[in-house]
Amino acid sequence: MTPPELVDSHCHLDFADFDGEVDAIIARAAAAGVRRMVTICTRLPNEPKVRAIAEAHPGVFYAVGLHPMSVAEAAPVTVAELVAFARHPKMVGIGETGLDYHYTPDSAEVQKQSLRVHIEAAQETQLPLIIHARAADADMERLLAEGMAAKPYPCVMHCFSSGARLAEAALEMGFYLSMSGIATFPKSGELREIFARAPLARILVETDSPYLAPVPHRGRRNEPAYTAFTARTGAQVFGVSEAEFAAATTANFDRLFRKAALAAKAA
């Protein structure tokens, strides 16, 4: 039986965990129905490696940004740099960016500055902003809303695991919530309830691999093929079949990541 088509909207194929295995990992993903994915560059010096992976594989696209946990030690990113990267036909998103006050609270002010830069790049390119949020819900809501008031932009709350208020605010702004392997964990009942209250038309699915492997692979290295396990939980959360959930989240991806959808149709 052919598995339903899924998209892994967020993974990190350039990480050392996958060195020498990228071709095999992409092949396993395709066998599991995951024929497209977005690999995320989290530091600008890594962009050539990330881009090369996308260029070598028809179903792989990429995004560029400066991860909030790296802003204190990395050179600041500029709007001009991000816009320049966005000219590449397979560069389809801005980020990941955001705020992380759990692991890196000391750099909060620099994180805010960096987030504003990424928001401006998303406003200019109209590529989706890819948000990392941890223990910073109030500031995250405020900064995203300020940006939307200035000029609308598309956005996905990657690996969403924040509170209900931030989920509601993001949805009110027209953003998307992305479901990761965290949603499959036994103690994630509250998170599953947050997703269940959201419209299915605003849900994406991802691995964030090599991190956050879903049940039954929890605690081991994650990879794009495991999107299928998170999607299985997603189908249960929304009370639909796995095929219906896959079709909905794939359509959602194509609506948000329009550049990737157009490239896939042209291929």
Domain boundary assignment for the chain = 6-266
Tell me the CA distances in angstroms from 258 to 148, 234, 254, 261, 264, one per residue in order.
19, 23, 5, 5, 10
Q: What pLDDT does residue 45 have? A: 95
Beta bridge partners of 99: 133
Helix count (H) and strand count (E) of the chain? Answer: 10, 8
Architecture of domain 6-266 in CATH? Alpha-Beta Barrel (3.20)
Residues 6+ apart with CB under 8 A from 175: 144, 154, 155, 156, 157, 202
With residue 137 as reference, give the H or E element that holds it. Answer: helix 137-150
pTM metric for this prediction: 0.97
Structure confidence at residue 1 as a pLDDT band (50, 70, 90): confident
Structure confidence at residue 267 as a pLDDT band (50, 70, 90): low
| Residues of each annotated binding site for a divalent metal cation | 10, 12, 96, 132, 158, 208
Would the pLDDT of 241 be above 70? Answer: yes
| Residues of each annotated binding site | 10, 12, 96, 132, 158, 208
If you average pLDDT over residues 103-112, what whole number do you get? 96
Q: What pLDDT does residue 263 have? A: 87
| Calpha distance 213→221 (Å, rounded) | 6
| Calpha distance 47→41 (Å, rounded) | 6
